[in-house]
Amino acid sequence: MNIEEYRDFCLSLPGVTEETPFGPDTLVFKVGGKIFALTNLQTFESFNVKCDPELAVELREQYDYVRPGFHMNKKHWNTILVGSGATIAQQRQWITHSYQLVVAALPKALRAELAEAAD
């Protein structure tokens, strides 16, 4: 997956916005004002996604291209190394999982709006 595919996929999810709150080099994707994915725009060597804590550990043990979240809470975030073996399908799956975790924690009314937008 390259940076354009990554960006397009993230933006294809309902209610997603992109921002650069940490400076011009860090591209952040949010849903409901909450971050679910981010990457370095200049290098795109990796991206960070939220992950269920138990699954996060399993993925790190199973794949050498999944690491504890760089500059993030290591319990809840993974860093996925791009170009190190992760398939596009895996990367999309992990981005979607992150998105779904964030959506699940949003207020019920906002979740309903997002579900309606997805239809």
pLDDT at 119 over 80: no
pLDDT at 118 over 80: no
pLDDT by residue (tens digit) across 67-113?
Answer: 998 888 888 999 999 988 899 999 999 999 999 999 999 999 999 98
Give the separation between CA 2 and CA 35, rounded to whole angstroms: 20
pLDDT at 12 over 80: yes
Two tokens at 89? 């399908």
Mean pLDDT computed over 51-79: 92
Domains of the chain plus CATH, in order, are: 3-118 (3.90.1150.30)
